[in-house]
Each structure stands twice: as C-alpha cells, then as structure tokens.
Structure 1
Amino acid sequence: MSEEKKASCCSSSEEVLKDEEVSCCSNAEEEQEPEVNCCSSSSVKEETEANATCCSSDTKRNEANQDHCCGNEQEEVSCCSSSGDVGKSEGLHVVKFEVKGMDCPSCAATIEKGLQKISGIQSVSVQYGTGRMTVAAENEFPHDQIPKHIRKLGFEAEPVDSSKNKQTYKIEGMDCGSCAMTIEKHLSKNPAVQDVQVQFSTGKMQIQHTTSAKEIVKEVGRAGFQASLEGKWGDHNQKAAKGKGISTTTLSGLFLGLGFIGSFTNIPTEFFTAFYAAAILIGGYKPARSAFYAIKSGSLDMNVLMASAAIGAALIGEWFEGAMVVWLFALGNTLQNRSIERTRESIRSLINLTPKEASVKSGNQLVLKAVEDVGIGEVIVVKPGEKIPLDGDVMTGTSSVNQAPITGESLPVDKQTGDIVYAGTVNESGSLEIEVTKLVEDTTIAKIIHLVEEAQEKRAPTQAFVDRFARVYTPIVFTLALLVMIIPPIFGFGTWGEWLYKGLALLVVACPCALVISTPVAIVSAIGNAAKNGVLIKGGTFLEKAGTIKAIAFDKTGTLTEGRPKVSEVHALGVSEDELIRVTRTIEEHSTHPIAKAITTYASERNMLAIDGEDFQAIPGKGAKAKLSGVKYFAGSPKLFEEMQVPFSEIKDRIDQLQKEGHTIVVVGTSTKVLGLIAVADTIRDITVQSIQKLKQVGMQEMVMLTGDNKGTADKIARETGVDRYFAELLPEDKVSAVKKLQAEGKNVAMVGDGINDAPALATSDLGIAMGGAGTDTAMETADIVLMADNLEKLPHTIRLSRKAMKIIKQNVWFSLVTKLAALMLIFPGVLTLWMAVLSDTGAALLVILNSMRLLRNK
C-alpha cells in the first residue's frame, strides 16, 4: 500500500495498526482521503497515534481535525466498506462502467489521466483486461455525463448495470448526418435521457433513459422524425403508420400543380397564390417543425435552411419559388430515404436467414418450437432443403450443407457426426439430428449481425474529415447569405428584393447534404456486400485501409496450407506397403501427435486394420514403440534409429531428398532392421493458389509467406503457391519483426493468420485479417477483417470491394464539392433560381446515394 496518501481502510477482520498517520488495510481494501483512518463495522476503537482513530459502527466522532470516526452517519470522513469500493466515502459517489474501444493498456492510462483532470472526479481506475472502469466523483457531479467525456477521448462507456435500460429505436425521416445531430441535441436536453446516440448510416438510435418508450417516440416526433422501438410492436406500428392515407409530398405537389396551371389562366392571382400557399403549408409543416427544434437545440441543418428559404420566398412574393422549394425538398427526401433504406436492408436481410421455428425432438415425436425457446442441449431435426435454425453439433446423419450465407463458400460442405453446423445455412441432402450448442442470441449469424451493425456506426477517416468540413462550411455560408441579403442594398447595389432572393438561394446551397452523405452510404453498402459474402469488415477505417494495402503477409500453417499433415509417400523395404502401414498404425494409434493422426487417418481411409499389440510407449521427441507378437517395433525419426544403430543406408538418400522438399519422415522397424519409411507433409489448400493469382490480378504488389519451417520447406511451398517472397525459421515473435521489415520498406502491410497464434503480428500490421471466423469467436473479436470461411477464397473480393469503395467515395466527394461550387458561382449572375438551387442540392444527394449503391451489386 502506498504511504503517500497517508490513508487507510480496514476490512471487517483487520485490526488497525499503530503507525504514524497510517493504519493498514487488507488487500481487498482501497486507500482513501489523506490522513484519515477507517474501521469496519465490526472494529472496536483502538488506541492509535495522533492522527489515527477507529470507531465502531454505532459511533460518530470528530474530536479534532485529524481524528475521525466512521459510523452509520458520516461527517467529513472517508470510510471504506468491507468490499473496498474505490472512493466510497463522505461526499463521493462511485459508478462502474464498461469501456469499449481500448486496444492496449496505454488506452486505459489515457482514460484515467483524461478523467482525473475533470473537476469533481476524485479517482479513476481502469482495468484494461476486464474492460471495466470505476469512477469516484463528488455527489453533485453529474455522473451520467461521464460517457460523454469518455467519448471525447475516443472510447465508449456505459454503466455496467445500464444495459437493461438501453433501447434501440429505428428512426425514419433523416436525410443526412445533421438530422441525427438535431435528434441527439433535442433528446439530450430531456432530464429523463442519460445518453443518446443516433447513427444516420444505420437509421438507428441507441438511448438510455428513465421514461417510457411512448414518450421517447413522442419526443422524436416533436423533432420532426418518426421513431419506433425495435421489436414486434415497433415494426407493426411503423408499417401501420406507413399505410395511412396520402403522403404530404403528393398533396403538396398536387396543390403546386394546380397553382402552376392556374397561373396560365385568367383567374385572379390571389386564387392560384392560395394553391401555392397550401403547397408550402402542407409540404413544409414537417421541415418547419424540425427546423424549430433544430434551432432550439443549436443545430443548423437542412430543415432550417429550407424552411428559411421557403418563408423568405413567400415574404418577397415569390410564391411559386417557395412552393417549388418545399415540394422538391420533400420529394428529394422521400427518394433519398427509400434509397438509403435499401442499403440498410442489406444488413437487415441477414436477420431473415434463420428460421423462426425449430423441430425439437421430444421422445419419439417432433415438437415445433420458437427458436427463442430452444435451450442448449436440446436436439433438433433438420430435413433436406430446410434451413438450420440454431448452431449445433451433428449427432446423427450425413449431409452436404450450403454455408454460403455465413462463410461465403461457393461449394456445399459435407457434414457428418461431430461436425459443427451454423444457423442460417441450408441442409441440402440428408436429414440431420443436431444438438444445440448456442442460444439464438449467441449464434454465429447473430454475432455477425451485431458486429456489422457496430461496424456501420464507426466513422471512417474520410467521413470524419467531411463531417468536420461540413460543420465549418454550413455556418460560414449561412452567415454569407445573411450578409448578401443586407450589405449590397444598404450601399445601393440593387434592390432589397433582388439581394434577398440571392441570399435565399445561397441559404439552400449552404447545406452540404450530398457531401455529408457521400461517405457513410458507400461504407454501409460495402460492409453490407462483404457481410453477405462471408467477410466481416469491422468499420469504415478498415475498409479504407484495405484499399491502400500493397503487401500481404501470410502465415503458412493453416493459412496457405491445410494445417493438417497428410501421408505423402510410403516406401517399404522387404515387406508390403499394406503390412508397413498396419504396423505403423498399431504403434501410432495410441498417440495424439498430428503426424500419428495423419498416419492412422491414411490407414483408416484404406481399411488397413491395426494388429494386436501391447506395451505401447511414447519416446518423447523421437517417436513411439509397441510390442507386436512378442517383437518390439519402433516408429519415429531417423535420429531414433541412428541412436539404436539400426542401418538404413539404402533409404538414406531418399530420406535426405524428402526432408529437403519439406516432408517429415517416420522410419518404421525393429531394433535390428528397418521396414520402410512414411513421409508426411502439410498440403497446400486447393483455393490458395487461385486466390494468390487473383490478388496479383487486382494489383497486389507483393505476397509474403511467414513460417517457422526450414528454408527447404519454405522454398517448396513458396514455389507451389506463387508467393513472391518468404521468411523461414521464424519464432512467433520473429513474425512481428518480419512485418515491421516490410513496413520499413514503405509498404502498407496486411497480415493474414488465424487470429489467435498470430495475434502479435496481426496487431503490428496495418490491417489484421483472420481466417476461419465461423469456427472461432476469438478470430471474430481480434482481427480488423474476418474471413468467415477457413480459406482465402474471399480475400481478392474483399480487396477489390474496398478499392472500389474508396474510388466511389472520392467520386462522391468531388461531385458534391463541384456541384456546390458551380451553384455558388451561378447565384450571383442571377442564373441559378431558388428552385434550381434546391434541385441541385437534392439531386446531387440522390446521385451520390445511387452511386454508392453500386457497391451492393459488386460481385
């Protein structure tokens, strides 16, 4: 315990020690305020030195400034509970949080330092290993604001017991990121709301509150948007709401059309002006209401600008222009929302992959149950042609299963007893009995959906830059518009009406809607496409990084190769090959070594049965032995037979040749003669060579192999797979050095491994790619990109997709900027009318969305 703070706390079993200004605590206790000593409820008052006093639980005492006692009532004293919670003392409130986003212990230190600088926070303890944080703050400090402070530091935090109070809502009516900001600001002013986050890209709102769901929906409605709680009743209400009556956009357009037709007749001007006014009121009600709440919450979004333009146009007598602004804005929003919904549906469609019910075996009968009601250990039956409803292990039956919805694999995978199957995959041939291993919320497909939705909410660097630009651009152009309305006419340059009109057009151009949409819609589309093809991209940052990769480093075993050794050659001396294999199988059958398994599998596939044996023993590091018909037989490395001085000169050259080619040799014989050799080698995956060729076709500059094998083996595998370069005889830590060497050569490097053994190298690389995510939760959690299948088949598609996404994002950004610049230049000569300004803005946004949606169709 540190002596600097001169503080101590006592557990219920701990006695206070006599020591100057300090008494001792148990290991479970934490330190508290300076020069204060605390006793547990069972402590009895002890004689102590001048600055240390302890009291029983029913005593309260404060005889001197540095002589305090803790009782049921606390006064100017720091006291510790028996559990030793940090900071549990007079005037302090302790809250525990879960922190997300930490990737190393230095992140924990950053959070601690950042929060300790905030006035009112007394102590912060962040545990990187558990992702937990304990904060002790003054009672009057608003602890519900801590997540916001954490977010400023680049992380996410939520109280450990708050997840039950956190709800997710679908939001309709947002046409750009500024709408999301308006909702956030509006709701954050409500005292019943502790935390709110609105994601434009996913159309979802995460909110923690103490009021009813009905009140939240109502509050969002006041801000001009529609909210529905995720779940059955929310979806039902939303569909019901959609089906009601004629839309305001259609009605507004109808009145606009009547007014426009009336302007060509002899009817009084006031008559068709009334139609324009009706079009403005009907179509502009929602934007005006949203604008009111945006201004109230300090936002300057598209609704504010459009409402200002429409009202201004009406005030200067441009009723047609005002009505056209409102209608075009409403029409553009409707089209945008429908298009964006299509990109969001790319993820929601994953949810529909799994059946809602499962046939559960109950005795000799099958009972149909909702998947939510099926527990772990229950047995479900899946007939040919049906989708598998839950993750599990095959108990009986053989079949081929189409795993494309999960892994993206192009061919069905054979399944038999003991194999794992995943929810959402299709049973194509035989009937299967499956023991359920995961609840519906923990299945692989559920985790994919969760991770993809999280990925969509993570902003890419380009998006973050665009958002910062938009926050500066909009107020500048808004201010410029006001100056344009006022300054020129004051100095006699034209009429007030003329400059008011130009200022209103400038207001419309002030909202960078297309620019703000340009990045997130493209990222959502690309991540959605990847997910449907069995690739998890953890966020826009990693999508962008994948597009800049110039070199890929592959772990050899299990990545380029199968990771499962197979018998590659059998060479018998004086006996038949069958007899050699049977003897070897008998010896190796009791071993769990991968080479032993390779030999027994080889024998099983050829129906070569083992011989009766006894005295089975392993020879550590060398092989194994057994007694067959009273004779000792050995199977092991050539070194074992050299030590026993058993001659094998006639096969020595073949052994040397095979070892140079990367084979592992098992010599079989007795203590007097050699019966032959079996060569075992790790085989290259069928898809590896094709994938590497495709990666070269998409412009990858260098493919590198990292392996712990000798140079002979590495050279052979490199030649067979087509990699450009290899690093051999590497220890796990040497792989990190190899990645750093490639980075030092000026390349952006991706590392492909299994996500567990290669974790240091994955973390060091610019982009960590894990294979076989469907089989391991660790791979899904650790890497930046996860290939759900246990092969490289989808890696070329991922690189292609990311590069196309980057290309489309750049197209969108430039198109948006050029459109805005052209509109700004055309305003002052009087070429750009008010309705043309609206059309350019909404039209540009729509084109940007449609361009981004091309990523959904990328094959």
Structure 2
Amino acid sequence: MAAASPYRLRIEGMDCASCALKIETAVQRLPGVSDINVNYANGTLALRVDEDRTAPRTIAEKVRALGYTPVDAGAEPEPALPTKRVREPWWQGAKGRLVLMTAALFALAFLLAQVLPQWEQWLYSGAALISVIPFARRAVAGAMSGSPFTIETLMSVAALGAVAIGEAEEAAVVIVLFAVGELLETVAAGRARAGIEALIDLVPRVALRERSGAIEKVAAEELAVGDVVVVRPGDRVPSDGTVIDGASEVDEAPVTGESVPVLKEAGAKVFAGSINANGELRVEISHVAADNTIARIIHMVEEAQESKAPTARMIDRFSRWYTPAAMAVAALIIVVPPLAFGGDWMTWIYRGLATLLIACPCALVISTPAAIASGLAAGARQGLLIKGGAALETLGKVATVAFDKTGTLTRGRPQVTDIVPVGGSEESVLAVAAAVERNTSHPLGVAIVEAAEARGLDLPATFGGGIATPGKAVTARLKEGFASVGSPRHAAEQATLEAGTAETITALESQGKTVVVLMKGKSVEGLIALRDEPREDAAEGVRRLTDRGVRALMLTGDNRRTAEAIAAHLGLEARAELLPDAKLAEIGRLKAAGPIAMVGDGINDAPALAAASVGVAMGAGTDVALETADAALLKNRVTGIADLIALSQATLGNIWQNIAIALGLKAVFLVTTLFGVTTLWMAILADTGATVLVTANALRLIAYKPSK
C-alpha cells in the first residue's frame, strides 16, 4: 500500500465557516484521506491522501460538486515564499456571474410580463426554476456528502415552495437576493484576506548579493544562509540577517509596528521587509526566504485562523442542530395553524417558507470566525502575534499577568557594577568567574564574560563544559580544582559566609543589584554585583494593566531584595528566589484563581509559558519568540501586554455584537413573519443584511489600534 502524500488545494468561493465545514464533511468520507485541514480564511484545503484509494482529481471533483472552484492543486504543501493571489473583478468570478445570470432572468421575466401579462406566472416560474438549479444541485451534492441541512437546502426548499403556491415572482427575487448575499460574503472575505496579504508586499522579490567583490541582482528566494547582501538607502531588507558592515537607521514599522527608526550597526539583527533609511549596510543572511520573519508571520496568522476559538466551536455545535430545528419549526408553522385552528393553508405555507429563509444560519455561523480573523490580522499589523482564536479569547479574560524579570521587565543586558574580592584581586575574581561562565547563555554570565573581555583579561583554562544547576550555580573544573559562580543562597548552602561578606551582599542587594558568589571548592573567593535596568516602558506597561483591573506581579529566581527594589520602582508585586519548579507551582496556584498570562523571554521561561493559561514571549522576531508561546510581541515592549489584552477584549466585544445582530434580526423578523408582515424577499433580505452587518462589523477590527 502506498504511503499517504500531502495534497493542497486552493478553493475559490469558500468564504465562511459553514462552507469549510461542508467541504470537510464531504472530503473526510473519501477513502484514504486523512489529516484534513480546511482554512476558509485563507481559502485552502490541506490533507494527506493515499492515491491508490482516492485520486487527487476525485477530491477536486468533490469540491466542485459542492459549488466551489478548486485551483492550484498540487503535492507541495507550501510555496517557498508566500504568494499573493490575483484578484479578479467581482463580475468575472463564479458568484458574480451567478448574480448577473439570476438578475438577467428576473429582468427578462419582468419585461416579458409587461408585454404578456397573461403569462406572468409562467414567466416568473420559469425564471425561478432556472435560477434555482445551481443552488439545488449544491444542496443535493451536500446531502449526498453528509451535509443534508445546508443553507442551499433551506433556500431551495423555500424557492420551490413559493413557486408551488403561486408566489413565483417572490421566489425569483429571493434567488437573486441570495446570490447577491453570497457575492457580498466573497467580497468581505477578500477584504479580510487582503489585510494579511498586504504583508507579502513588504518583502522585496530581488536582492543585491555580494560574491567575490562583485554585486549581482538575484531573486530573494535564491538567497542562502551565509550569503552577504548589500542594502542601499531606501531598499527593503530581503531576508532576516545580521549587519556585518555599515551603520544606518532602519524603519521596522512594517514588521514590528515600531514607529521610531532603529539604529543598526555591525552585529545588529535586521528583519525582512524593514526599510533602510540613510546608510548602506552589508548584511549576512541568517534565514532563507521561506523562513524569514514576514513569511513566518503570514504562516502563523494563517495557522491561527485555522484553529477555532472556544466561542466558534460552540457556535459550530449550535448550528449543527439549529438548521434541522429551524426546518422542524417551519413545518410546524405550516401544519399546526390550519389543522388545529382552521387557518388558511396557503397563508401558513407562505409564512413557513418565510421562516425557512429567516432561519438561514450564515450570519450566526460567521459571527465569531470573522471577528477572530480580523482580530488576528489587526494584531499582526501592530506587531502582536497571536497563535489562534483560543489564545485571543483567553487574553481578554486574564485576571493576572506574571512577568519574568530579566529580559522582560528589564533590558536583559545586565552590567557588572561591583567586584568585591575576598581572597584575591578584582582581576583574578573576574577572570575565574568569566572562565566558569564562558559557555553560558544566561544574561548574568554573558555580562561577566563581556566585562572580562573589556578589561583584556586572560581567562584560565577549563576542562570540559560548565555544568549548570538551574537557579543555583554554574560549576566548571579549573586546573587547581572546581570553581562555581552561583547565588548567595547556594553559597550559604555550601559554606558558612563570614559576617562581613553577608553584610556586603545585603548592602549591594538593597541597591537593586544582583550578587553572584565565586567559590573555589568550599571557599568564597569574591562577589560580583550586576544591575539590569528596567525597560523604559516597563512602568507604563504595568500601569496600563492595573488601570484595566489586571493584577501584575513579577516571578523571578533573583534575590528578594533586588526583586523588591525593582518591583517597587515599577509598581507591581514580586515573588522572588523561585527555582523553576517553584515558579511552575506559583503559576499553578495563580491559575486556580483565574486565567493567568505568563510573559517571558521564550527560552528559560518555556515551562512557565506552557503552564500558564496563555504564554506571551518577548522578542523582536526571534525564532524562540515566534515558536515557544501562544503570543509574541515583535515590538519587544512591556506595553504590548496591555495592547494584547485590549485587542482581545475588543474582539470579544465584537463577537457578542455580531451574535446579537444575527440572533436579534432573526427574532424580530420571526415575529413579523408570524403576524404576516414579512414577505419572502424581506426574509432573505434580512438574512443577507445580517450577514453583511456582521461581516462589516468584524472588518472594523482590522483598523483597530489600542488606546494608550
């Protein structure tokens, strides 16, 4: 048996969650098909198929039978670079042509009825019966594929019923309005997709590659890791990389939303799509085109749109029984009044058919995913990446935000401020500590090594790599024995600290500094104090959270005095001296009282990020920031947490507005129908109008900008 291979299909005309559900239901009944992923927001179907059991063309034919247009079929799951689809005028698309056809048939029937009034009923009946054929075929195909209660079924039954009771003119109008409503859905979905596809324009398609002193123009997707490119003033950076020569201000607003240009010099990272302002840069490429920041943002948002939010899943479950229930109610409206109260059959059949049209679930089904898609797109444009509707919903409900300290509330680049030798000189203490920390990635260790390099110190040799005990110490073997650099608490566990040494540690910590102790064996050799300054926007970010009624606190492994000094300056609570397991336990305790967001750098805090209700990673487009947590802040600012929560709350509000619009209009028109006020064309107009209102309301979120 052949192994299942990946298959991807782009589908035109799939513009709402109910469309996606219908396609998924049909395709999953085919033999040999698995891992089905239908993304209506992106208009794609991805799956794995055993071609010995089901040919790929069978999948395309099944999709076409449901009334959608499959294009760009292939075995490749993703292109090298995101591609922007060509948008044709609305009248050239399948739904546009259907609108023109149904409108032309109605207009022809109307004109001929003026000339031949005695044939009016037959003319409108003919127009209605011909116009309903495409929708009836889709209803039958849906029923045969496992979706018997679709909107096409409701509309076809209502239209044919209207013809049968002599209301052919209204039947024709209903079909035209239904076709127009479907076209409006397509237009609205196209606008929502354009909000993400606009990011594709940020990446230049060509780059100036430098090889052997010569500069050549190449396609951006041909760049490989390690290539050197020249970025002239006014050019966009073709892919992520590191500046190796030159200095210039770079506008990162298109990528991170940061409005102020950032100075880039040798060693600085630059991101694909950012704009070089005033100086020439030579950049070494670190990511290929398919893996640069822009490509990953687009793929992240597309994947996020595929994952359903809790409210969307609830609406989906509701709609599964809502449509058959609506048909049952319509049947009761038709049957009960004539049989029980002697009502006129034609009157109540008419009102039952109107009820069918009012019950169309389009507006309700699209209410949540449309808002979620717009919220995700708005976040991406503001440098706020959110991995899915569930995370977007949860952010708006968090009661507590827990921050890591180093690299999150602070700049993450501590500097050595004091060296206090106990058994030697400052230089020897710093040199030995740097040797122990030589291969570490911890910010404190990096700062110690940098301080030693700045003084030009020769570091003693170590044998083997350093061994890290998280939250305690790093130990390495030197020629004269083992040496460790660790916390004062760890040092106190290994040896008795002299009173003077303990007093010095207390004094340094009271100044908001972090102290590490250098030990050789069981002997204290010296103290090194470091300080990591808070980010410029940290206090504002905390204030904006507390103004929203969200509790903010710091969880850190640092000593209590340092943590409390920084926390007091920023205006939040502190939980200090937490080892990784204690930090996890604290997250669990806080989570029991309500949803909690954990904010960290995405590396050392990965367990805590995963344990929280929603994890948020700081980081300007780094791999870890984009991949570890549920959300990432490309601006690398603490205020971004409040922006995330504000966006989530705006999205939740939009969702409930949409649900109220959808159900409210249906309730009003149901009452007017039962009293004989609503006509068939008014009923379908109510459904189409609700869909348009819901979609337009959701699209407002794309332009959303958090208030300061």
Q: Where on the TM-score scale, by shorter chain, does this alignment land: which range?
A: 0.7 to 0.9
Q: CA deviation at 1:809?
A: 0.9
Q: CA deviation at 1:496?
A: 2.8
- Secondary structure, counterpart of 1:352 in structure 2: helix
The amino acid across from 1:493 in the alignment is G
The amino acid across from 2:10 in the alignment is Y
Residues 427-826 of structure 1: pairs in structure 2 closer than 5 A: 427-490=276-339, 493-567=342-416, 598=447, 657-664=507-514, 680-700=530-550, 702-723=551-572, 725-744=573-592, 746-772=593-619, 774-777=621-624, 779-826=625-672
CA distance 1:420–1:176, shift in 2 (3 Å): closer
CA RMSD of aligned residues (A): 4.0
Q: CA deviation at 1:270?
A: 4.2
Q: Contact 2:435 / 2:459 at 8 angstroms: preserved in 1?
A: no
Q: Contact 1:743 / 1:749 at 8 angstroms: preserved in 2?
A: yes
Higher normalized helix content (fraction of residues): 2
The amino acid across from 1:849 in the alignment is T
CA distance 1:359–1:277, shift in 2 (3 Å): farther
Q: Contact 1:193 / 1:208 at 8 angstroms: preserved in 2?
A: yes
Q: CA deviation at 1:293?
A: 0.9
- Secondary structure, counterpart of 2:533 in structure 1: strand
Q: Contact 1:359 / 1:369 at 8 angstroms: preserved in 2?
A: yes
CA distance 1:825–1:662, shift in 2 (3 Å): same
Distance in 2 between residues matched to 1:760 and 1:583, nearest whole Å: 36
Q: Contact 1:591 / 1:597 at 8 angstroms: preserved in 2?
A: no
Q: Contact 1:558 / 1:754 at 8 angstroms: preserved in 2?
A: yes
Choose which of 818, 838, 852 in structure 1 pairs with 2:684: 838
Identity of aligned residues (%): 38
Q: Contact 1:376 / 1:437 at 8 angstroms: preserved in 2?
A: yes
Distance in 1 between residues matched to 2:575 and 2:499, nearest whole Å: 33
Equivalence for 1:363: 212
Distance in 1 between residues matched to 2:645 and 2:299, nearest whole Å: 23
Equivalence for 2:76: none
Q: CA deviation at 1:258?
A: 6.0
- Secondary structure, counterpart of 2:218 in structure 1: strand
Q: Unpaired segments of 5 or more residues in structure 1?
A: 1-92, 96-160, 572-579, 625-634, 641-646, 669-675
Distance in 1 between residues matched to 2:474 and 2:188, nearest whole Å: 65
Q: TM-score, normalised by structure 2?
A: 0.82
Distance in 2 between residues matched to 1:622 and 1:201, nearest whole Å: 49
Q: Contact 1:182 / 1:293 at 8 angstroms: preserved in 2?
A: no
CA distance 1:198–1:729, shift in 2 (3 Å): closer
Equivalence for 1:858: 704
Distance in 2 between residues matched to 1:459 and 1:425, nearest whole Å: 31
User: CA offsets, 1:279-311, max 9 Å, x none?
Assistant: 535643432221221222232111111111111
Q: Contact 2:254 / 2:273 at 8 angstroms: preserved in 1?
A: yes
The amino acid across from 1:819 in the alignment is L
Is residue 225 from structure 1 mapped to residue 68 from structure 2 by the alignment?
yes
Q: CA deviation at 1:187?
A: 3.8
CA distance 1:254–1:595, shift in 2 (3 Å): closer
User: CA offsets, 1:427-482, max 9 Å, x none?
Assistant: 22322222222222222322222222111111111111111111111101212323
User: CA offsets, 1:336-387, max 9 Å, x none?
Assistant: 2211221122222223321122222232322222222222222222212211
Q: CA deviation at 1:659?
A: 3.0
Choose which of 268, 285, 305 in structure 1 pairs with 2:154: 305
Is residue 205 from structure 1 mapped to residue 17 from structure 2 by the alignment?
no
CA distance 1:699–1:429, shift in 2 (3 Å): farther
User: CA offsets, 1:394-450, max 9 Å, x none?
Assistant: 222222223333333333333222333222222223222222222222223222222
Is residue 316 from structure 1 mapped to residue 162 from structure 2 by the alignment?
no
Distance in 1 between residues matched to 2:34 and 2:435, nearest whole Å: 61
Q: CA deviation at 1:829?
A: 1.5
Distance in 2 between residues matched to 1:774 and 1:820, nearest whole Å: 45
Distance in 2 between residues matched to 1:666 and 1:513, nearest whole Å: 62
Distance in 2 between residues matched to 1:276 and 1:530, nearest whole Å: 49
Q: CA deviation at 1:255?
A: 4.7
CA distance 1:599–1:541, shift in 2 (3 Å): closer
* Number of residue pairs aligned between Structure 1 and Structure 2: 657
Distance in 2 between residues matched to 1:475 and 1:396, nearest whole Å: 67
Distance in 1 between residues matched to 2:103 and 2:320, nearest whole Å: 32
Q: CA deviation at 1:691?
A: 1.3
Equivalence for 2:523: none
Distance in 2 between residues matched to 1:236 and 1:719, nearest whole Å: 52
Equivalence for 2:241: 392
Equivalence for 1:343: 192
Distance in 1 between residues matched to 2:487 and 2:180, nearest whole Å: 77
- Secondary structure, counterpart of 1:361 in structure 2: strand
The amino acid across from 1:534 in the alignment is G
Report which structure shows greater RCO (CA 8 Å, sep ≥6).
2
Q: Contact 1:217 / 1:227 at 8 angstroms: preserved in 2?
A: yes
Distance in 2 between residues matched to 1:351 and 1:508, nearest whole Å: 40
The amino acid across from 2:150 in the alignment is D
- Secondary structure, counterpart of 2:639 in structure 1: coil
Distance in 1 between residues matched to 2:199 and 2:635, nearest whole Å: 17
Residues 20-419 of structure 1: pairs in structure 2 closer than 5 A: 162=4, 164-172=5-13, 174=14, 176-190=16-30, 196-209=36-49, 210=51, 216-229=59-72, 239=88, 243=92, 247-257=97-107, 267-273=115-121, 276-277=124-125, 279-280=127-128, 283-299=131-147, 300-419=149-268
Distance in 2 between residues matched to 1:330 and 1:468, nearest whole Å: 26
Distance in 2 between residues matched to 1:636 and 1:464, nearest whole Å: 49
The amino acid across from 2:128 in the alignment is I
Distance in 2 between residues matched to 1:597 and 1:763, nearest whole Å: 26
Distance in 1 between residues matched to 2:337 and 2:486, nearest whole Å: 96
Q: Unpaired segments of 5 or more residues in structure 2?
A: 74-78, 467-472, 477-484, 492-497, 519-525
Distance in 1 between residues matched to 2:47 and 2:549, nearest whole Å: 44
Q: Contact 2:99 / 2:180 at 8 angstroms: preserved in 1?
A: yes
The amino acid across from 2:12 in the alignment is I
CA distance 1:491–1:638, shift in 2 (3 Å): closer
Q: Contact 1:623 / 1:637 at 8 angstroms: preserved in 2?
A: no
Q: CA deviation at 1:329?
A: 0.9
Q: CA deviation at 1:208?
A: 3.6
Distance in 1 between residues matched to 2:161 and 2:372, nearest whole Å: 37
Q: Contact 2:333 / 2:352 at 8 angstroms: preserved in 1?
A: yes
Q: CA deviation at 1:693?
A: 1.7
The amino acid across from 1:225 in the alignment is Y
Q: Contact 1:692 / 1:722 at 8 angstroms: preserved in 2?
A: yes
